[in-house]
Amino acid sequence: MGIANSHQISRYYDFFRDKEIVFTKSNLQILKMDPRQVYVKCAGGQWPCLINSSSLQAAKIIIGTNSGAYLAIQKDKNLGVMLRYCFIDANNSPIHFFVNCTVGEINKYQNTEELAIITLNFTQRPPDDLIFKIGEFLEANENFYHRKEERIDINKNSIRKLGLEKEESIIYIENVPRRCILKDLSFSGAKVMLVGVPKFLVGKNIGLKIDFIDTNESVLIPGIIPRAEFLEGRKDIASVHIAFNGDTVPMVYKIHINSFITTYQKTILSTQQANANNAVNQPVINTAADTKNVPVVNTITKKDPEQEVPAQEQTAPTQPAQEVPAQKETVQESVEQK
């Protein structure tokens, strides 16, 4: 989806460190986690386990009560433990790492004697790969509720950044597939164009198909058409507004929309900061009109020549100003009036 920088990683850790993700089957697929390569390491050996849930401070694992790890932990609850995570990157290569932990609560799993659920508390900040995976997932869910009305216009640039194949798509209206053109997307809905009469489309249940080529995934988002109108100047093409069913929006779609919105916001902030820096550092250039009334300054002495008074003039006594008779002013005013 994207490359995280240190600022983003730190923000994820600060905001989501205590938020927990339950590793359901669908969440494992979204996080691209390989549960077959997850292990718990302690007492000189390592044993397979299942991660039930994880935050950035702790994880809950499920292990068999007959496994060596469970027996070692039961024998010494102060035993140092390492939990091995494994994710699959965009090139289908595994990314695995260990997290140092201490043992917390130990309970039966669903009241069975064969399985136990153990809380492992991280002893330090986990690796950046785990912070990014969990942080991106949680941020997408949070923005889904707080930024659901922000619209993304579909154009060449947004198609590329969203990982879409093209602007053309398929909309299923009452289970009947029809071709459409995507005009905008958001967390909560979309706008499309298709051939049809608006009054026969309003109120219909739909499913909008979205193909993401960057992750080779396709989603079908259910919703309803609350509003539709003819495209301006056309009587055969309808502009259709779609409202998604909030609880059924796929997580894959949320992550793609969230990635675009947050990246776009960062780009705007970076541009604004760059413009501000350029404005501060830009040299001031005065034109001839700006400088015509500014006195010339001596480049050697850095003094204004008009303020430099010769020594002879400085020693000469000042003469008192002569008063102009009031009669002269009166004559001058009468001339001007004539």
| Longest CA–CA separation in the chain, Å | 124
pLDDT at position 216 is 87
- Cβ neighbours of residue 121 closer than 8 Å, sequence gap 6 or more: 57, 58, 101, 102, 103, 104
Tokens of 269: 């902030």
Kindly give the residue spans of alpha helices, DSSP state H, lying in the chain: 6-16, 25-31, 68-75, 128-146, 156-162, 251-281, 288-291, 311-315, 326-337
pLDDT at position 298 is 45
pLDDT at position 321 is 45
pLDDT at position 274 is 56
- Cβ neighbours of residue 108 closer than 8 Å, sequence gap 6 or more: 115, 116, 117
Helix (H, G, I), strand (E, B) or coil at 57: coil
Q: Please, what's the b/e burial string for 297-324 (b: 16 or more CB within 10 A of its CB; e: otherwise)?
A: eeeeeeeeeeeeeeeeeeeeeeeeeeee
For the CA atoms of 52, 53, 56, 58, the dihedral, rounded to the nearest 10 degrees, stands at: -60
Tokens of 150: 């922000």
pTM: 0.72
Low-confidence ranges of the chain (pLDDT < 70): 1-4, 264-338
pLDDT at position 7 is 86
Tokens of 71: 């027996």
What 163-168 contacts at long range (C-beta under 8 Å, 24+ apart), as own/partner pairs, is 163/1, 163/212, 163/213, 163/214, 163/215, 163/256, 164/210, 164/211, 164/212, 164/213, 165/211, 165/212, 165/213
pLDDT at position 309 is 47
DSSP letters along 1-49, please? Answer: -----HHHHHHHHHHHTT--EE--HHHHHHHTB-GGG-EEEETTEEEE-
pLDDT at position 71 is 94
Burial of 94 (0-12, 13-18, 19+ CB in 10 A): exposed
Helix (H, G, I), strand (E, B) or coil at 324: coil
Cβ 155 vs Cβ 162: under 8 Å: no
Q: How far apart are CA 247 and CA 280, in angstroms?
A: 48
pLDDT at position 299 is 38
